[in-house]
């Protein structure tokens, strides 16, 4: 269905790789060209957040690979995807190195997590974070690509969950305090677990309940869109309410939303909502 978000997206020139990938996904049925994404790939195989920075970024690399999964047969796409996954395979959170595992186990006790369970950092030589790990996992699922990294990263998400369900940016506990979950990161992680049919059912249920409650009075189209994308599999109880809220916020304000939010909104308002773990 063509929505005000789709109409407005056609007029946008994306400024970041996140915007470019999400715009391509949202407009895949109207304008399937992926040449801009292919042209923005770095020599190492990754994508940066902004083309001018040329700093490899796991989050945007995952998004680019997901967008390319909807045009999988072109030889240039296949070559770019192989290079992208090769970069993801050799890039890991710093805690995956034995020396850092030793550090976190014996000396740095301000955070509470299992350092043997690691995913992807935002950028190289930093620790794993929830958002890039979740998006990378969705890329592996979109391409049905097996990897030894996948079960370790899924275990990392479960290990880093907040005690009440949901996820913060990186850990569920730090400096003796249980951290509060954040709706955007919680939705991304829930999408990743559900796409791989992973996660303890109780954790999935607690996260779905948290998202439903937290987003009921939410005024952010970005958060609502991620909530709809996450809850379409796990819970129908809050879904219709969130979809109505997203329509109410986005339809009259499409021109004022940033491109990433606009694209996520369009994806969430598809019927059914777009599934990040599949090819459209």
Element (H, E) at 276: none
11 lies in a domain?
A: yes
Look at residue 211 and tell me if it is in a domain: yes
pLDDT value for 102: 45
- Is 252 part of any domain? yes
Q: What is the C-alpha to C-alpha distance for residues 199 and 221, in angstroms, rounded to an integer?
A: 27
Structure tokens at 178: 């249980």
Closest CA to 124 of 57, 61, 42: 57
Q: Please give the structure tokens belonging to residue 235.
A: 């819970």
Buried b (16+ CB within 10 A) or exposed e, 93-120: bbbbeeebbeebeeeeeebebebebbbb
Q: Looking at the domain assignment, is residue 64 inside a domain?
A: yes
Domains held by the chain: number? 1
Q: What is the CATH number of the domain that holds 22?
A: 1.50.10.20
CA 157 to chain centre: 12
16 occurs within a structural domain = yes
pLDDT at 107: 45
Alpha-carbon gap, residue 216 to 270, rounded angstroms? 20
Residues 135/63, Cβ–Cβ less than 8 Å: yes
DSSP 119-149: ---SSTTS---HHHHHHHHHHHHHTT---TH
Range of 70's domain?
A: 4-268
What integer pLDDT is reported at residue 3 of this predicted model?
Answer: 81
Euclidean distance between CA atoms 112 and 108, whole angstroms: 9
pLDDT in tens, 42-92: 999 999 998 878 899 999 999 999 999 988 888 999 999 999 999 999 999
State the Cα–Cα distance between residues 90 and 5, nearest whole angstrom.
37
Count of alpha carbons within 13 angstroms of residue 267, beta-carbon side: 31
Is residue 276 situated within a structural domain? no
Q: At CA 52, angle to CA 188 and CA 254, rounded to 5? A: 50
Residue 157 lies in a domain: yes
Residue 275 domain-assigned (yes or no): no
Within the chain, which residues score under 70 in pLDDT? 1, 31-32, 96-113, 172-179, 235-237, 279-280
Predicted TM-score of the model (pTM): 0.91
pLDDT, position 96: 53
């Amino acid at each position: 269905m063509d929505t005000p978000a789709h109409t407005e997206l056609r007029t946008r020139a994306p400024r970041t790789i996140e915007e470019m990938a999400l715009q391509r996904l949202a407009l895949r049925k109207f304008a399937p060209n992926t040449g801009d994404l292919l042209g923005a790939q770095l020599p190492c195989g990754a994508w940066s957040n902004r083309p001018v920075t040329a700093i490899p970024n796991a989050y945007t690399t995952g998004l680019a690979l997901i967008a390319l999964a909807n045009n999988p047969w072109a030889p240039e796409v296949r070559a770019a995807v192989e290079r992208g996954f090769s970069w993801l395979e050799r890039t890991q959170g710093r805690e995956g190195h034995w020396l850092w595992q030793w550090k976190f186990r014996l000396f740095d006790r301000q955070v509470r997590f299992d350092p043997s369970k690691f995913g992807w950092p935002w950028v190289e030589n930093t620790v794993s974070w929830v958002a890039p790990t979740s998006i990378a996992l969705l890329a592996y699922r979109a391409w049905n690509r097996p990897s030894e990294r996948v079960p370790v990263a899924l275990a990392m998400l479960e290990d880093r969950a907040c005690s009440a369900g949901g996820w913060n940016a990186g850990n569920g506990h730090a400096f003796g305090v249980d951290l509060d979950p954040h709706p955007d990161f919680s939705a991304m992680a829930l999408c990743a677990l559900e796409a791989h049919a992973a996660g303890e059912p109780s954790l999935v249920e607690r996260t779905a309940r948290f998202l439903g409650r937290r987003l009921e009075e939410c005024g952010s189209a970005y958060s609502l869109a991620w909530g709809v994308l996450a809850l379409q599999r796990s819970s129908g109880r809050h879904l219709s309410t969130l979809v109505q809220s997203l329509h109410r916020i986005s339809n009259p304000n499409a021109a004022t939303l940033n491109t990433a939010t606009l694209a996520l909104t369009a994806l969430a308002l598809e019927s059914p909502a777009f599934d990040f773990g599949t090819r459209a």
